[in-house]
Amino acid sequence: MTDRYENIVIEGVSPELDCGRYPVKREIGDRLEVWADIFKDGHDVIAAVVKHRRKGGPEWSESPMELRNPGLDLWTGSFDLPRNARFEYTIEAWTDHFETWRREVRAKVEAGQRVELELLEGRELVEDAARRSGEKRLEAALKELDVANYDEALALLLSEPLKELMDCHPDRSASTVYKTLEVVVDRVAARYGAWYEIFPRSQGTAPGRGATFREAEARLPEIAEMGFDVLYMTPIHPIGTAHRKGRNNVLVAAPDDPGSPYAIGSEEGGHKAVHPELGTLEDFRHFVGACREHGMEVALDFAIQCSPDHPLIEEHPEWFRFRPDGTIKYAENPPKKYQDIVNVDWHTEDWKALWQEWLDVVLFWVEQGVKAFRVDNPHTKPLPFWEWLIREVQEEHPEVIFLSEAFTRPRRLEGLAKLGFTQSYTYFTWRNTKWELTEYLTELTRGGPQEYLRPNFFANTHDILPHILQFGGRPAFQMRLVLAATLSPAYGIYNGFELCENTPRGEPGTTVYYQDSEVYEYKVWDWDRPGNIKDYVRRINGIRRQNPALQELTNLTFHHADNVNVLFYSKTSGENTVLVAVNLNPFETHAAHLDLPLDALGIGEDEEYVVEELFSGRVLPGRRGRSFWVRLTPQENVAEIFHVRKAGA
Amino acid sequence: MTDRYENIVIEGVSPELDCGRYPVKREIGDRLEVWADIFKDGHDVIAAVVKHRRKGGPEWSESPMELRNPGLDLWTGSFDLPRNARFEYTIEAWTDHFETWRREVRAKVEAGQRVELELLEGRELVEDAARRSGEKRLEAALKELDVANYDEALALLLSEPLKELMDCHPDRSASTVYKTLEVVVDRVAARYGAWYEIFPRSQGTAPGRGATFREAEARLPEIAEMGFDVLYMTPIHPIGTAHRKGRNNVLVAAPDDPGSPYAIGSEEGGHKAVHPELGTLEDFRHFVGACREHGMEVALDFAIQCSPDHPLIEEHPEWFRFRPDGTIKYAENPPKKYQDIVNVDWHTEDWKALWQEWLDVVLFWVEQGVKAFRVDNPHTKPLPFWEWLIREVQEEHPEVIFLSEAFTRPRRLEGLAKLGFTQSYTYFTWRNTKWELTEYLTELTRGGPQEYLRPNFFANTHDILPHILQFGGRPAFQMRLVLAATLSPAYGIYNGFELCENTPRGEPGTTVYYQDSEVYEYKVWDWDRPGNIKDYVRRINGIRRQNPALQELTNLTFHHADNVNVLFYSKTSGENTVLVAVNLNPFETHAAHLDLPLDALGIGEDEEYVVEELFSGRVLPGRRGRSFWVRLTPQENVAEIFHVRKAGA
């Protein structure tokens, strides 16, 4: 038997991730709604609060909870998340003896019963509170009671001012306190932003050599004009020469092949160095500043792997694994061998120093102004390492964003998000049919992951040219762009997408790699080549910026469209509702009757409304009824995006 | 940074109740299947075991887990629950370095690569294991390797005997161990049994006075003959006279009214005493023995409430609440007053002694041979008290069963089951339509509660004569009996049910109370009165005993019947499958096409099968196809129960 027992049960708390093992995620400006089942035996009235503070802060703040559903003992309370920081929260509940007393006395009085004894008992509760609190106004109330007659005492004890005073000084000695939970509050860019991926060396105009950062700056106005928020660059570090890969990933490079930027490290430096071909660290900082001037931020690739020429191998041989014959162990996925890549040995006895080294690398770039990292294959490095690294970085720099590139099995993809990654690459790139998209988005927005996994929907990457783009051509690029940009508040494309570049290595449909991938060669793009959809991209990003509804994730609702090729959904934020209809078939025209969510739009079944299509600016007045017909053609309109408003509103 | 980190994630463990706060429940003879998501970074092979032991036992046993679904990183393992005790279980997982090595080497060898270096690395793993374990056979293998050529070394290192030996001595120094969980293993009666409720004083034949235990024993053969397993008796203690209630719950009792057995305690004794009218403690023990001889056990009512005459009030006034005028506080539900009942003051400073007193009461009756308690209104007593009491009792007497009579809000009803109650009264008594029954049973069997809440479906109680019985008469009694007895492995009726007693207090449909309830008066029943369904009860209970499928809960599946009045479901246990079709409308004949689950029955769409109806013994040979037509009439067959077997089987 313990010395104290907690009479009140607090359970079913949400949000709570894996018993509080991991924090949930929100963004600045959100309000955290906390829900819980709270109950005890008998008929007593319960009072409860959400307690919250900045993590490790000295004092808890409290927000009252209300019993939202008495039949289900379901309580809720909330508090604001005003800052980019970690917050702690919990719940405290106690028996509200005074309100219990008031409710019983009111019931008796209403039934015409005399309550002399009850008044004495009520007075005792006030005495207790006065003693606990030393509150002068309670003592004054007691003096008033001393000279009050029955009616006066009853009125005073049931009065609202006294209740409010008593509420300030409850007896919480037998309260129940739930375990402490955590919420990471990131900046809004953690949730919302359009990403554009480039190889900086391919942003120039001179063939046969890589562009410099200074040259690449010339591209920024155009990228910004398309409406992108984040410019993500593949690794910018010196590239090894040992076992360098040639064009199209062939084993032996030609003398003038530049090598893959993922073979990081040469005698010119490692993860803290800039490839001399790109310029100096000063040039990089200038580039970051130029991006900022164009309203964009830079995201760097963080790929923990070394070329055999990486300086770290000589400096810290103990961080690498050598084989019985004294050679260094290179990367393998047996029977495949990757001789141009050496992985660090996470099992090294010196692992603490190794972890620290990678933390130093991240902090180094943070100091150069980088606040976003796209992490390459995090699922092949120890998960506890990432949890530690992200916490360490965000401790000092809570604004830093980590995007997990983990195209791996679902539990591991989600696990990386749980342990701290800000955003995640997802399976969107492989989801094409109405059923696949509906299922997957429902899982991401309602199935649990929404508390910790923020999708970043990449329509392509430098490693992934999806089959739908290989076969579907320009309409497919438009269609996938609309899906990525309106289903998820964060999305991205790898450059060339806007040019509808879709030549795969090998026969179409056999690989997802690009022919003549710029991973392995210098490239000069014609950014204005015919058939490009730059204007379409610009308009989509403009619509995203103008419509807050498209800047959120969990506000997605799918609606019925009577054609399996047409996906129809809406997002609402406050007064802003956006409806999107997409033809998922890039080869055929499809029409459908859309089932408009009139209830959610506040429009009666018989009321007149106006539909405005945002791409075309077409306005259709005088509409009535739930059904709205669309015809979506690959040539003209693969998708339509609507505002619907009550006529005259 | 910690000094050791766990590379492997173990999450999504089931069964696990509220983060391990409460144990899950099983019964003797079950095998506990444990499931978990287990994963780590990279491509290493993982090994995992379920560890288990009797709670607090010195040594863990281990059962291997297998990776059931690689894509979902889903593992499972299981262990037997052979004894009526609490068991602990957890999961341990580690990297299987040797199997990882084997897999890689096999891949390389299959690709025609030479693996000299790999053989040296494999040898190192064997050396490590030999050092760790001191295993002589590993040392012998090393000696063999010393003289082996390439092919011999390869064969030895990949050999199954070496693998088995290595599996016995894994390196678990960096393993991940999950938190310890608990499972309560109750006796099978916790899940399965037919309960029969009586007022022992009403089991005699002499009007105007209560029957004694000796007289009541005469009823046992008949009750046993009906097939009941548990005889539950309302309180058997002395009854107070202060404010005694009269017939039909009137405020003032007539001089010869016996009072409610729930007004416990008089000068003749309290909760440890037997009402002298019923006999002595010796008579009670004799009664318990007589029940046992008839294959039944006794369940006592445990109602923590006192009449104002209860001896405890004088012995321990500190356990009761007195009002400012010195009077004792009786029970209230304002504005209603229950002057015949005094509740103990759970807020007493002496609460530890008070808790101990009630534990002593339970242990007292356990010593008299009572191993089952129906607990009256447990939701009006502190929940932590029950958790403590049940644990204390079961520590010494794990066979004791506690049935929670908590007709209260769902979270609280479930909360009592979570904290330790063996069985629970449910909302079944109020669920009548096909939709209600399907929803509710799906929740109970699949929705989560199945891990901790064992329903006991009472078709009526001394306090609840459901409207469907008031209006529906005999067919309704049969229908509700079949539902209770076949949907839930534990079910019960209050005596008179088999007589179709359905006269309510007041107009039918206005209350759920019985007219002339035996709560307040002596009663002599005519146990053979016309229209009784005793034989129907006997047959139902017989079918339950003959069919293991009806002795389980979670094996329930609903199937389609094309009539909203017909409920159709099946239960399967091993080879035994029972199908049940019930007409939910006691007023009308209803027919339906039942959609037989031929797949589950192992019968092909075109195969011939035989249907046997268990009530009538009717056998229908030569059937084919999924559809089976039934016609259920209130007069003849409110329900049918089937076996279906392949023709010739």
Query: What are B138-176's pLDDT values in tens digits?
Result: 999 999 999 999 999 999 999 999 999 999 999 999 999
Residue B12 near residue B37 (C-beta atoms within 8 A): yes
Measured CA to CA, the distance from residue B202 to residue A412 in angstroms comes to 65
CA A236 from chain center: how many Å?
26
Contact B72 A9 (CB under 8 A): no
Q: At what angle do helices B383-396 and B351-367 cross, to 10 degrees?
A: 40
Whether the pLDDT of residue B3 is over 90: the answer is no
Measure CA B534 to chain center. 26
Interacting residues of A147 by C-beta distance below 8 A, sequence separation 6+: none
CA dist list (Å): B264 to A454, B257, B270, B272, B367: 61, 15, 6, 10, 20
Dist. CA B287–CA B580, nearest whole Å: 36
Catalytic residue list contains A405: yes
Residue contact A42–B415, C-beta within 8 A: no
Give the integer Cα–Cα distance in Å for B453 and B413.
Answer: 9
Q: Which parts of chain A sit beneath pLDDT 50?
A: none
DSSP 3-state of B270: coil
| pLDDT of the residue at B343 | 95
Residue A7 to residues A92, A480, B383: CA-CA distances in angstroms? 12, 55, 7
pLDDT in tens, B10-51: 999 999 999 999 999 999 999 999 999 999 999 999 999 999
Residues 6+ apart with CB under 8 A from A573: A547, A548, A549, A551, A552, A555
Beta bridge partners of residue A302, listed in sequence order: A375
User: Which chain B residue's Cα is nearest to A44?
Assistant: B380
How far is Cα B578 from Cα B132, in angstroms, rounded to an integer?
55
Given this model, what pLDDT does residue A203 score? 97
ipTM score for this prediction: 0.95
Residue contact B72–A333, C-beta within 8 A: no
| A350 Cα distance to chain centroid | 34
pLDDT tens-digit map of B57-95: 999 999 999 999 999 999 999 999 999 999 999 999 999
What pLDDT score was predicted for residue B335?
87
pLDDT of the residue at B398: 98
Torsion, CA A362, CA A368, CA A374, CA A377, rounded to 10: -40
| Helix residue spans in A150-258 (DSSP H) | 150-157, 160-168, 213-216, 220-225
Question: Domains (ranges, CATH) in chain A?
Answer: 8-185 (2.60.40.10), 189-300+356-551 (3.20.20.80), 556-646 (2.60.40.1180)
User: Considering only CB atoms, which chain B residues are within 8 Å of A322?
Assistant: none
Q: How far apart are CA A344 and CA A318, in angstroms?
A: 9
Q: Which amino acid is at A366?
A: V
CA–CA min distance B411, chain A (Å): 6
> Which one from B16, B217, B301, B405 is the annotated catalytic residue?
B405
d(CA A561, CA A569): 9
Contact B39, B46 (CB under 8 A): yes
Note the pLDDT of residue A333: 87
Q: How far apart are CA A213 and CA A282, in angstroms?
A: 10
Element containing residue B286 per DSSP (H, E): helix B281-293
Q: How far B449 CA lies from chain A's nearest CA (Å)?
A: 13
Report how far residue A488's alpha carbon sits from residue B123's, in angstroms, rounded to the nearest whole number: 51
Catalytic residue among A297, A376, A521, A640: A376
The C-alpha atoms of residue A572 and residue A574 are separated, in whole angstroms, by 6
Which of A19, A108, A382 is nearest residue B335 as measured by Cβ atoms? A108
* Of residues B572, B565, B615, the one with CA closest to residue B588: B565
Per-residue pLDDT tens for B592-632? 999 999 999 999 999 999 999 999 999 999 999 999 999 99
Q: Using a CB-CB distance cutoff of 8 angstroms, which residues of chain B are in contact with residue A334? A: 103-105, 107-108, 111
Q: How far apart are CA B639 and CA B645, in angstroms?
A: 20
Tokens at A177, concatenated: 């306190």
A412 and B1 within 8 Å at the Cβ level: the answer is no
Q: Which of A398, A420, A29, A304 is nearest to A188 (CA)?
A: A29
Q: What is chain B's mean pLDDT, rounded? A: 96
Let me know if A376 is a catalytic residue: yes
Per DSSP, helices labelled H in B40-135 are 97-110, 116-133
Q: How many CA atoms lie within 13 A of A491 on its CB side?
A: 26
DSSP string, A270-310: STTS--TTT--HHHHHHHHHHHHHTT-EEEEEE---B-TT-
Question: What's the CA gap between A350 and A67, in Å, rounded?
Answer: 54
User: What is the pLDDT averaged over residues B112-116?
Assistant: 95
Pick the closest to residue B221 from B295, B325, B304 (CA basis): B295
Closest CA in chain B for residue A332: B104
Q: What confidence category does residue B295 fall into, taking pLDDT thresholds of 50, 70 and 90?
A: very high
Residue type present at position B65: M
Q: What's the sign of the alpha-carbon dihedral A306, A308, A310, A314?
A: positive
Q: Does the pLDDT at position B457 exceed 80? A: yes
> Is there a contact between A41 and B380 if contact means CB atoms under 8 Å apart?
yes
In degrees rounded to 5, what are phi and psi of residue B494? -95, 135
CB contact under 8 A, A411 and B73: yes
Please tell me the number of Cα atoms within 13 Å of B437 on its side-chain side.
25
Residue A11 CA from chain centroid, whole number: 26
Handedness of CA B472, B473, B478, B482 (dihedral sign): positive
Cis peptide leading into A398, omega within 30 of 0?
Answer: no
| Beta-sheet strand order (sheet of A490-494) | A423-424, A401-405, A372-376, A297-302, A230-233, A193-198, A490-494, A457-458
Mean pLDDT confidence for B323-350: 91
> Which residue in chain A has the smallest CA separation from B333?
A104
Closest CA to A76 of A34, A114, A110, A112: A34
As a whole number of angstroms, the distance between CA B469 and CA B500 comes to 8
Model pLDDT, residue A5: 82
**Nearest residue, CB atoms, B39 vs list A39, A355, A412:** A412
Measured distance CA(A225)–CA(B5) in Å, rounded: 47
Find out whether the peptide bond into A15 is cis, omega within 30 degrees of 0: yes
- Alpha carbon distance B285, B370 (integer Å): 9
- Please name the residue that has the structure tokens 């409460």: B22
Contact A107 B72 (CB under 8 A): no
Is residue B3 within 8 A of residue B22, CB to CB? The reply is: no
DSSP state of B93: E
Helix then strand then coil, in percent of chain B rounded to 5, is 35, 25, 40
CA distance B109 to chain A (A): 8
